[in-house]
Amino acid sequence: MPDFVLHKAGSLDESEKELMQECPTICERIVASIGEFAHLAPVIRAGHERWGGKGYPEGLSGEHIPLASRVVFACDSLHAMTSDRPYRKAIGVRAAREELQRNSGKQFDPSSMVRALLDVVGDTQTDA
């Protein structure tokens, strides 16, 4: 992924969004080519799918998304929200927790996945 896209301070334009949405497919091919990790390729490919079907690259929804992908997506989302990005400042852990809960069943697996993640985060991190 070109640095100019990864580190862009503003919103991505349509061609940059399309480029970013190629990332799971590219990463899948890389992982598939490494013998002992090849079994993880489908998990990598589905890492940006959303429970409600509005993710990419396939638009998978619900149980069609590999369980490991659902776990990684929730964890990655928490990390993304609580980390500074070139285009925005981090939000606090409390706000990130609320966002995860609000989107449980939309973006995130509505089972106990979000609850389990929030239990782990619990008191281990505080808002700065």
114-120 own/partner pairs: CB under 8 Å, 24+ apart: 114/74, 117/74, 117/75, 117/78
List the domain boundaries for the chain.
12-123
Q: Which CATH class is domain 12-123?
A: mainly alpha
Predicted confidence at residue 33, as pLDDT, reads 98
Query: What mean pLDDT value characterizes the chain?
Result: 91
Predicted pLDDT of residue 123: 55
| Angle, helices 67-81/93-102, rounded to nearest 10 degrees | 140
How much of the chain exceeds pLDDT 70, in percent? 95
Q: Give the best-scoring range by mean pLDDT among 5-19, 30-44, 74-88.
A: 30-44
Read off the pLDDT band of 24 (50, 70, 90): very high
- What is the per-residue pLDDT for 74? 94
Inter-residue contact 80 to 68 (CB < 8 Å): no
- For residue 124, pLDDT over 80 is answered with no
User: How do residues 73-112 score in pLDDT, each as one tens digit?
Assistant: 999 999 999 999 888 899 999 999 999 999 999 999 998 7
pTM above 0.95, yes or no: no
